[in-house]
C-alpha cells in the first residue's frame, strides 16, 4: 500500500481547477483499503438505484440484485406497495431468492422458513415444530431485514444509511430538470449485463468524457461533425452532473419522439451522472440507464437498461425496429469500451501510472475524482471548492453539493 493514500496532501494535483488538474493516481482504482473505504463512505451511505417499478408490475412480482455484496429482493406486496428486503434468511443465512419471478411468499431453500411479501416470517414448516423447546422465540422478531427504499419517476432507490435525507430531498433539482422526459411513463424493455475486469470508476469516467470517442468509437464518429458537448452548471443543485450534445454517436432514431418533448430537448441528448453509480442517457425517443455495480476493486458488473415510452412499446412494429435500430447498434459501441477499460485497469494495477493531465472535455471525470476524494479523504474547504468549480464565492449552496 502506498504511504499516505488517505492524506489530503496526496491529492493537491487533483484538487486544482480542471485546466490545472491531474487524474486520480492508480491506487484509487486498485487498492483494497481504498475500496473498503469506498464501501463505507460511499456505497453504504448514498442512495443507489436498483431498478424500476415496472420490473415488478403485479402483487408477488420480484427481482433480486446483489448490491456491493449484499443480496436484496425488491417485491410488490398484495396491496401494491414496493418493498426491498435483505435476501438473507434469518435462520442461518441462506440466500432465499435469486433471479426474478412471481410468488406468494419466499421459502428459504435450506430449511423452508417462509416469509410474506412484506418480509414477515410467517411459517416454519415441520412436524413436530422444528423450534419446539426454543425459548423466547417470536416470529415477529425474525422477519427479513428491511432496506430503506423510495421511488422517483419509476426508479427504485435504496440506501443502507439511516441518516440519508429523503430521496426527493437528496435529488435536489434533478426531478425538475428531467421532468420534460416523463420518466414515470417509461417502460423497461431490455437489459444487457456485462462483467468487466476493471474498477467501477474507470468505466464511469469513460462514460462521461467524449474525448475517447474519436479514437475508440471512430467507426461511429464523423470528424466533420463535432459533438460540442456542453456541461450543465449543477452548483448547489444536487448530487448530479449533466452534459448535452446535439450529435452524440448514440442519438439513434426510428421510433417516435417522447410525447410532448419540447424542440430544445428533442434536438439533442443528455448524459446524467447521479452520484455515485447511476448514469441516465436521455434522448428524444428513449431513456437508457446504467447501473455500475462494483464487485471488489477489480470487478464491475454493468447493467445496461433500455426504456421507451409506454406508447412506443405498444406499437406493433416496436420489436422489429428496436433491435437493429437501438440495441444492436449500442452493443457495438459497448464492445469497443469493453476492450479499453480493462487495459486501463491493468496499467493501474501495474503501479506504473504517473497521473497526466485532463482535457477540458473531461470536466465530469474531474468532478467524479473530486467527489470520491471528498468522501474518502474528506471534503476540502468551501473556498477551494468554489474556486475549483468556477464559482468565485463559496455560498451556502456549497453545503448542498457536499
Binding site for Fe ion (CB under 5 A): 337
Cβ at position 298, least distance to Fe ion in Å: 20
Beta carbon nearer to ligand FES, 104 or 191: 104
Q: In sequence order, which residues have a C-beta less than 8 Å from that of residue 130 and are 6 or more positions away?
A: 111, 124
The three grid cell numbers given for residue 217, joined into one nine-digit string: 468509437
Cβ at position 139, least distance to ligand FES in Å: 13
Main-chain phi, psi angles of 376, to 5 degrees: -95, -40
Choose the one of ligand FES, Fe ion, none that binds residue 205, judging by a C-beta under 5 to 8 angstroms depending on kind: none
Cβ at position 274, least distance to ligand FES in Å: 35
Q: What is the total residue count of the chain?
A: 402
Cβ at position 336, least distance to Fe ion in Å: 6
The three grid cell numbers given for residue 345, joined into one nine-digit string: 485497469
Quote the CA–CA distance of 172 and 339 in Å, as a whole number. 36
Choose the one of Fe ion, ligand FES, none that binds residue 4, judging by a C-beta under 5 to 8 angstroms depending on kind: none
Beta carbon nearer to ligand FES, 111 or 329: 111
C-alpha distances in Å from residue 302, one per residue of 24, 120, 202, 218, 292: 22, 32, 12, 23, 5
Q: What residues between 67 and 96 interact with ligand FES by CB under 6 A?
A: 89, 91-94
Among 65, 74, 108, 196, binds ligand FES (CB under 6 A): 108
Would you count residue 110 as binding ligand FES (CB under 6 A)? yes
Quote the CA–CA distance of 290 and 51 in Å, as a whole number. 10
Q: Of 279, 239, 241, 231, which is closest to residue 399 (Cα–Cα)?
A: 239
Quote the CA–CA distance of 250 and 58 in Å, as a whole number. 33
Cβ at position 175, least distance to ligand FES in Å: 39
Choose the one of ligand FES, Fe ion, none that binds residue 114, judging by a C-beta under 5 to 8 angstroms depending on kind: none
Q: Which residue is nearest to Fe ion (CB)?
A: 337
Burial class (CB in 10 A: 0-12, 13-18, 19+), 106: buried
Cβ at position 75, least distance to ligand FES in Å: 17
Choose the one of ligand FES, Fe ion, none that binds residue 337, judging by a C-beta under 5 to 8 angstroms depending on kind: Fe ion
Beta carbon nearer to ligand FES, 94 or 314: 94
Q: Are 57 and 34 contacting, i.e. CB atoms less than 8 angstroms apart?
A: no
Positions that interact with ligand FES (CB under 6 A): 89, 91-94, 108, 110-113
Amino acid at each position: 500500500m502506498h504511504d499516505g493514500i488517505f492524506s489530503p496532501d496526496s491529492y493537491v494535483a487533483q484538487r486544482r481547477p480542471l485546466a490545472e488538474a491531474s487524474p486520480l493516481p492508480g491506487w484509487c482504482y486498485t487498492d483494497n483499503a481504498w475500496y473498503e473505504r469506498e464501501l463505507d463512505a460511499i456505497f453504504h451511505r448514498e442512495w443507489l438505484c436498483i431498478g424500476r417499478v415496472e420490473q415488478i408490475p403485479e402483487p408477488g412480482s420480484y427481482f433480486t440484485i446483489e448490491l456491493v455484496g449484499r443480496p436484496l429482493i425488491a417485491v410488490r406486496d398484495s396491496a401494491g406497495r414496493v418493498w426491498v428486503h435483505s435476501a438473507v434468511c434469518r435462520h442461518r443465512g441462506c440466500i432465499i431468492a435469486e433471479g426474478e419471478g412471481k410468488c406468494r411468499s419466499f421459502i428459504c431453500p435450506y430449511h423452508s422458513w417462509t416469509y410474506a411479501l412484506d418480509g414477515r416470517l410467517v411459517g416454519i414448516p415441520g412436524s413436530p415444530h422444528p423450534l419446539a423447546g426454543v425459548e423466547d422465540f417470536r416470529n415477529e422478531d425474525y422477519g427479513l431485514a428491511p432496506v430503506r427504499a423510495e421511488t422517483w419517476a419509476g426508479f427504485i432507490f435504496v440506501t443502507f444509511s439511516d441518516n440519508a435525507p429523503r430521496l426527493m430531498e437528496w435529488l435536489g433539482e434533478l426531478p425538475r430538470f428531467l421532468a420534460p422526459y416523463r420518466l414515470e411513463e417509461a417502460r423497461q424493455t431490455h437489459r444487457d449485463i456485462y462483467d468487466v475486469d476493471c474498477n467501477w470508476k474507470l468505466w464511469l469516467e469513460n462514460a462521461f468524457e467524449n474525448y475517447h470517442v474519436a479514437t475508440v468509437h471512430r467507426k461511429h464518429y464523423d470528424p466533420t461533425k463535432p459533438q460540442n458537448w456542453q456541461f450543465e452548471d449543477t452548483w448547489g443543485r444536487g448530487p448530479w452532473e449533466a452534459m448535452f450534445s446535439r450529435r452524440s454517436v448514440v442519438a439513434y432514431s426510428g421510433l417516435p419522439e417522447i410525447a410532448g418533448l419540447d424542440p430544445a430537448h428533442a434536438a439533442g441528448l443528455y448524459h446524467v451522472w447521479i452520484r455515485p453509480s447511476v448514469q441516465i442517457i436521455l434522448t428524444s425517443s428513449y431513456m437508457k440507464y446504467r447501473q455500475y455495480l462494483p464487485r471488489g476493486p477489480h470487478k464491475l458488473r454493468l447493467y445496461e437498461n433500455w426504456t421507451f415510452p409506454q406508447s412506443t412499446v405498444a406499437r406493433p412494429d416496436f420489436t422489429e425496429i428496436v433491435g437493429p435500430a437501438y440495441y444492436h447498434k449500442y452493443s457495438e459501441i459497448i464492445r469497443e469500451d469493453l476492450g479499453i477499460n480493462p487495459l486501463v485497469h491493468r496499467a493501474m494495477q501495474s503501479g506504473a501510472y504517473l497521473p497526466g493531465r485532463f482535457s477540458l472535455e473531461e470536466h465530469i471525470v474531474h468532478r467524479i475524482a473530486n467527489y470520491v476524494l471528498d468522501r474518502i479523504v474528506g471534503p476540502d474547504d468551501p473556498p477551494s471548492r468554489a474556486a475549483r468549480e468556477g464559482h468565485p464565492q463559496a455560498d451556502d449552496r456549497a453545503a448542498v453539493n457536499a
